[in-house]
Structure 1
Amino acid sequence: MNTNRGHDAPERRGALLPDAGAMLDEHGRPPGAPSRTGTGSGAAADPARVDAARAQEQRQAEAEVNVLVSHCDSAGADAVLGVLAEAFPGMTGPTPVWNAGPASAPAIWSATVDVRRHAPGTHPQARPASPVTAELDGAADPVRQVRAVLEDAFAGEHLGTVSGEHELQVSLRLTARPA
């Protein structure tokens, strides 16, 4: 009994692959020809440029502090984020994260501060109507710089710190300074 059922027929075998002695690969290219999208399609990357780009990305990441403002109304968040925007021009955000409940007001505002753009000599003052919780996350020195600006503008209560190998998280409760 023949159980092969025509699978051996020459018209069913298809093209040979390079490992079976073919002179072309599965895309019709001779062995060793570069593909349009894969390795060998263009000039080799310049190692110095690659290293410089990676170093720049690293410096940028080390200079950024993620700020989360919560447990407040939009006026309180605006006060805190306004101080940061004045002290650090070019700050990204704020991005509101909306409540899932029926109130449909933002529960958390998120912003990213680049401490390399610090405007020295600014001493913004703000008065949030109610206490605001600010959580700072990033490399230790930039977090300390942002914390100093916030504690200069508000009365700050330290709620806690979490230290990592290269990062620092600080939680603050900010209120208006007594007049």
Structure 2
Amino acid sequence: MKSTREHTAAHGIDAEVTVELSGCETQDAHAVFGALRTVFASDRAPDDRPQEVAGARPTVWSSTFDVSEVRRKAGPTRLSKPVTADVQGGYWAVAKLQEELTGAFAVQVLGTAAGDQEQEVQLRLDTRHP
């Protein structure tokens, strides 16, 4: 039986998802990216912490995740306030990332934009309460 990674490669499924966060505190961005790095391989090192950039424009943090293989599940993760995440990738990959986010956060879909091969989804992430 093939692994998910082999299956996605064999069927030409793009397993990369880009996640962008803005308008949130650096510790919340770090919490979201940390939870995602627990689950998926990332283009960022584990000790890479989001840094605030001075200036008039809002800071946007971005990272890309390979969702073809779940390394381990993320546990509930606390946020100081809700975070809006813009997620972009293939349909299967975005759905997989969204599914795994529910282990760490309360997830609400705010909006979607569909394309031929990819979609963009705006999510609201909040601390999960039992």
Q: Contact conserved, 2:26 with 2:52, CA < 8 A, in 1?
A: no
Sequence identity percentage: 33
The one of 71, 75, 78 aligned to 1:124: 75
Give the structure 2 partner of residue 77 of structure 1: 29
Q: TM-score under structure 2 normalisation?
A: 0.78
| Alignment partners' CA distance in 1, 2:75 and 2:83 | 16
Q: TM-score under structure 1 normalisation?
A: 0.58
| Alignment partners' CA distance in 2, 1:59 and 1:82 | 28
- Give, in angstroms, the shift of residue 79 of structure 1: 0.9
| One-letter amino acid of the structure 2 residue matched with residue 63 of structure 1 | A
| Alignment partners' CA distance in 2, 1:169 and 1:64 | 13
Q: Contact conserved, 2:36 with 2:74, CA < 8 A, in 1?
A: no
| Alignment partners' CA distance in 2, 1:140 and 1:97 | 31
Question: SS of 2:77's equivalent?
Answer: coil
- The structure with the larger Rg is 1
| Alignment partners' CA distance in 2, 1:173 and 1:82 | 17
Q: Contact conserved, 1:66 with 1:112, CA < 8 A, in 2?
A: yes
How many equivalent pairs are there?
Answer: 117
The one of 15, 18, 26 aligned to 1:63: 15
| Alignment partners' CA distance in 2, 1:101 and 1:130 | 22
Q: Given the alignment of the two structures, is residue 153 of structure 1 paired with residue 107 of structure 2, yes or no?
A: no
Q: Contact conserved, 1:68 with 1:108, CA < 8 A, in 2?
A: yes
Question: SS of 1:79's equivalent?
Answer: helix
- Give, in angstroms, the shift of residue 127 of structure 1: 0.4
Higher-strand-fraction structure:
2
1:12-51 mapped onto 2 (5 Å cutoff):
none
Q: Which runs of 5+ in 1 are unaligned?
A: 1-55
Q: Given the alignment of the two structures, is residue 173 of structure 1 paired with residue 121 of structure 2, yes or no?
A: no
Q: Structure 1 141/97 Cα, relative in aligned 2: closer, same or farther at 3 Å?
A: farther
Give the structure 1 partner of residue 60 of structure 2: 108
Higher-helix-fraction structure:
1
- Give, in angstroms, the shift of residue 158 of structure 1: 1.2
Q: Contact conserved, 1:65 with 1:114, CA < 8 A, in 2?
A: yes
Work out which structure has the larger RCO, using CA pairs closer than 8 Å and 6 or more positions apart in sequence.
2
Q: Contact conserved, 1:96 with 1:110, CA < 8 A, in 2?
A: no
| Alignment partners' CA distance in 2, 1:177 and 1:63 | 26
Q: Contact conserved, 2:26 with 2:51, CA < 8 A, in 1?
A: no
